[in-house]
């Protein structure tokens, strides 16, 4: 084993490039010595060729140091005319030079484009949103086609699955929906009466509670609860089946996964959400009536009579009319994200989170659009 060094020989005419001899063991144990030798090296541009005839040993540490000293591109150029270099060592130097060059290029790109990274990520998110929207629209079309085909074949309806899903979606969710909307109705009544009391119009709290729950809060709260509770369950159930290759087994048996797994959940959701919406409306108004009676002396009889006289029934139909649309989209999003699971527990968790976020976003977006539309129509 010999100490590594560099020997640079140049002709008398200094304008003519010289030869750089690589001597000794260019390995990791001699790294400090190599660094000192490289620090004394002449300008790389004055080197015409490399001489490896006295090279005793070479590893990736020595190759990387030589690439950093001469520059990756310069080293690759000089290796074409290098002498005394074994083929395996030539391959090592070329590979290390390529790796060092790519790392340096990535570092420069990251440093130069750091200010554009935020815009790049925003652009990627927008493109991803567009792709997910197209996938969702395609899946909605597939589900509608399957619904149309199954509607004319009652024997293909999976009544047992629909009833089981209806129990999980509607009956099991009734307590939480009723409790949540009851508390929200009480809060709205308390805040509304407190503010309206300053103008001597506390009795209009009844109109506020009735109007808000019949048109917006009833359907919105029930939909958000189902988006978080049921859409995530759909994704986790179907995603686990996808991860365990049960979906592939269903296809191998000649069955349609959409008809077998998606349609019963869609049917059950379309039936369940109007029920939960009605419960949410009633519970919210009961909560408001209770606060009005206990805190502000408004009797339940007065509360009901004013609701009947001041709130047209069209507000109830507007709120209930949104329920099937929201239910269909929530079910489609939950099932679609389950079918997109790639086969790991991490993928199941990611798509479950995505289904909840997408469902809530779609519900709020469509509710806002519907509110603007009904306002312009004067309904």
Residue 150 has which token pair?
Answer: 């199954």
Reported as a pLDDT band with limits 50, 70 and 90, residue 220 is very high
Identify any residues that bridge with 57 across adjacent strands, giving them in sequence order: 25
pLDDT value at residue 287: 92
**Buried b or exposed e, range 171-190, using 16+ CB within 10 angstroms:** eebeeebbebbbebbbebbb
Reported as a pLDDT band with limits 50, 70 and 90, residue 115 is low
The answer to whether residues 41 and 8 touch, using CB atoms and an 8 Å cutoff, is yes
Beta strands in the chain (DSSP E): 5-9, 18-26, 47-51, 55-58
139 versus 120: which is more confidently predicted? 139
pLDDT value at residue 221: 93
Q: What is the average per-residue pLDDT within 40-52?
A: 64
Is residue 55 scored above 80 in pLDDT? no
pLDDT value at residue 17: 55
pLDDT value at residue 46: 62
- What does the DSSP 8-state code read for residue 242? H
Residue 324 has which token pair?
Answer: 């099937």
Reported as a pLDDT band with limits 50, 70 and 90, residue 300 is confident
Q: Which of 299, 304, 302, 305 is nearest to 282 (CA)?
A: 304
**Token pair 């990627």 is at which residue?**
124
pLDDT value at residue 16: 45
The answer to whether residues 240 and 348 touch, using CB atoms and an 8 Å cutoff, is yes
Is residue 51 scored above 60 in pLDDT? yes
CB atoms within 10 A of CB 308: 10
Q: What is the average per-residue pLDDT within 128-157?
A: 84
Is residue 7 scored above 60 in pLDDT? no
- Dihedral of the alpha carbons of 223, 224, 230, 236, in degrees to the nearest 10: 140
Reported as a pLDDT band with limits 50, 70 and 90, residue 311 is confident
Average pLDDT, the chain: 82
Is residue 18 scored above 90 in pLDDT? no
Which of 2-16, 83-97, 247-261, 343-357 is least confident?
Answer: 2-16
Q: Residue 4: CB partners within 8 Å, gap ≥ 6?
A: 23, 24, 25, 26, 27, 30, 33, 34, 37, 62
d(CA 176, CA 168): 13
Q: Which of 263, 235, 257, 242 is nearest to 337 (CA)?
A: 235
For 274, list phi and psi in degrees, rounded to 5: -60, -35
Per-residue DSSP letters for 13-76?
STTS-EEEEEEEEESGGGHHHHHHHHHT---GGGEEEEE-TTEEEE-HHHHHHHHHHH-HHHHH
Is residue 214 scored above 80 in pLDDT? yes
Report helix, strand or coil for 259: helix
Which of 69-83, 212-226, 271-285 is least confident?
Answer: 69-83
Query: What separation in angstroms does the CA of 341 have from each of 86, 245, 250?
Result: 50, 11, 16
Reported as a pLDDT band with limits 50, 70 and 90, residue 299 is confident
pLDDT value at residue 12: 37
Sign of the CA dihedral running 20, 25, 27, 29: negative
Share of the chain above pLDDT 70, in %: 88
pLDDT value at residue 14: 40
Sign of the CA dihedral running 370, 371, 373, 374: positive
Reported as a pLDDT band with limits 50, 70 and 90, residue 6 is low
Is residue 113 scored above 80 in pLDDT? no
Pairing of strands 47-51, 55-58: unpaired
**Buried b or exposed e, range 274-297, using 16+ CB within 10 angstroms:** bbbbbbbbbbbbbbbbbbbbeebe
pLDDT value at residue 2: 54
pLDDT value at residue 100: 77
The answer to whether residues 220 and 321 touch, using CB atoms and an 8 Å cutoff, is no
Reported as a pLDDT band with limits 50, 70 and 90, residue 54 is confident
Is residue 53 scored above 60 in pLDDT? yes
How many CA atoms, within 13 angstroms, populate the side-chain half-sphere of residue 110? 6
- Please write the tens of the pLDDT for every residue from 331-364: 999 999 988 888 777 888 888 998 999 999 999 9
d(CA 190, CA 295): 8
d(CA 174, CA 214): 18
191 versus 48: which is more confidently predicted? 191
**Token pair 């039936």 is at which residue?**
271
Is residue 146 scored above 50 in pLDDT? yes
CB atoms within 10 A of CB 224: 19
Q: What is the average per-residue pLDDT within 233-259?
A: 87
d(CA 293, CA 209): 14
d(CA 318, CA 212): 12
254 versus 317: which is more confidently predicted? 317
Q: Which of 262, 244, 231, 252 is nearest to 341 (CA)?
A: 244
Domains, the chain, in order of start with CATH, read 5-112 (3.30.750), 130-377 (no CATH)
- Please write the tens of the pLDDT for every residue from 160-170: 888 888 888 98
């Amino acid at each position: 084993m010999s100490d590594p060094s560099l020997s640079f020989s140049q002709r008398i005419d200094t304008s003519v490039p010289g030869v750089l001899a690589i001597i000794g063991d260019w390995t990791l144990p001699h790294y400090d010595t190599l660094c000192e030798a490289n620090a004394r090296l002449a300008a790389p541009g004055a080197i015409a060729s490399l001489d490896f005839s006295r090279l005793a040993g070479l590893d990736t540490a020595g190759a990387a140091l030589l690439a950093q000293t001469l520059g990756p591109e310069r080293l690759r150029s000089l290796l074409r005319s290098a002498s005394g270099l074994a083929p395996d060592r030539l391959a090592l130097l070329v590979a290390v030079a390529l790796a060092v060059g790519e790392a340096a290029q990535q570092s420069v790109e990251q440093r130069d484009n750091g200010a554009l990274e935020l815009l790049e990520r925003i652009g990627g998110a927008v493109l991803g949103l567009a792709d997910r929207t197209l996938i969702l629209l395609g899946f909605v079309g597939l589900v509608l086609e399957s619904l149309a085909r199954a509607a004319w074949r009652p024997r293909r309806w999976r009544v047992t699955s629909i009833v089981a899903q209806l129990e999980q979606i509607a009956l099991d969710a009734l307590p939480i929906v009723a409790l949540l909307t009851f508390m929200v109705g009480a809060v709205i009544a308390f805040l509304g009466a407190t503010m309206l009391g300053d103008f001597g119009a506390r009795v209009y709290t009844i109109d506020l509670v009735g109007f808000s729950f019949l048109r917006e809060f009833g359907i919105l709260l029930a939909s958000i609860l189902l988006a978080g509770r049921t859409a995530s369950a759909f994704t986790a159930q179907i995603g686990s089946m996808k991860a365990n290759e049960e979906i592939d087994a269903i296809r191998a048996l000649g069955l349609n996964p959409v008809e077998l797994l998606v349609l019963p959940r869609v049917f059950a959701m379309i039936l369940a959400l109007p029920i939960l919406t009605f419960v949410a409306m009633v519970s919210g108004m009961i909560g408001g009536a209770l606060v009005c009676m206990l805190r502000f002396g408004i009797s339940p009889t007065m509360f009901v009579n004013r609701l009947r006289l001041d709130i047209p029934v069209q507000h109830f139909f507007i709120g209930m009319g949104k329920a099937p649309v929201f239910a269909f989209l929530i079910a489609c999003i939950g099932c679609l994200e389950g079918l997109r699971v790639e086969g790991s527990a991490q993928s199941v968790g990611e798509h479950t989170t995505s289904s909840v976020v997408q469902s809530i976003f779609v519900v709020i977006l469509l509710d806002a659009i519907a509110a603007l539309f009904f306002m312009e129509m004067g309904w």
